[in-house]
Structure 1
Amino acid sequence: MKLLIGDPGADLERLEEKSPITHVNKIKSLLLVIHGYDDPRVSINESIELVKKLKVSNTKVTNFVLRNEGHGFSNKRNQLNAHENIYLFDEIIKSTCSIL
């Protein structure tokens, strides 16, 4: 894992700078967060914290958690659920933006 993202001990400042939660106050558009509950790379708690901070900053956010999923979505039912929610989110964006 250290080869892919860096060493949390040695690279903490760089990793924190790249973290979305560091820049939550800059996020102004609608946001969809999809997270696998059993994700071994990104803790579900990080996703929950991000969503909480977005809501506190009055950013419109939709989120859902896929049970029995890790960092990718391999379960067919979860894949369909994710795609359905992405489609619905896309429809919301289209209905609120005159450009699209």
Structure 2
Amino acid sequence: MGGGIYPNMLCAHPPFQIDGNFGFAAAVAEMLIQSRKGYILLLPALPDEWKDGKVQGMKAQGDITVDFEWREGRIHRVRLCSSHEQKVTLECNGISKTVFLKPDRTENMIFD
């Protein structure tokens, strides 16, 4: 009552605000991963409070499924799966890496 956000991160103002609820989820997703065709940037705007974490099943442009884990604000593991053959540049921890994805193969990377 009176606005704000519920503990489950939904908007707390009547009537139900679909734009606020979906908009917040989209904003959090953009903080974790930004992509465009052929390019994926991980953790472009990670809050300081989220030092460690893990994401599974996020979709990037080009129908790429991305799983990743970070520790102390730096990417530790990345897994990429594509529905079709394509080349993508992955950027994380200040490093750019070009990866060739195929639908029958998962690309796993560890950054230390």
Could you state the TM-score of these two structures normalised by the residue count of structure 1?
0.32
More helix by share: 1
More strand by share: 2
Q: Which has the higher contact order (CA 8 A, sep 6+)?
A: 1
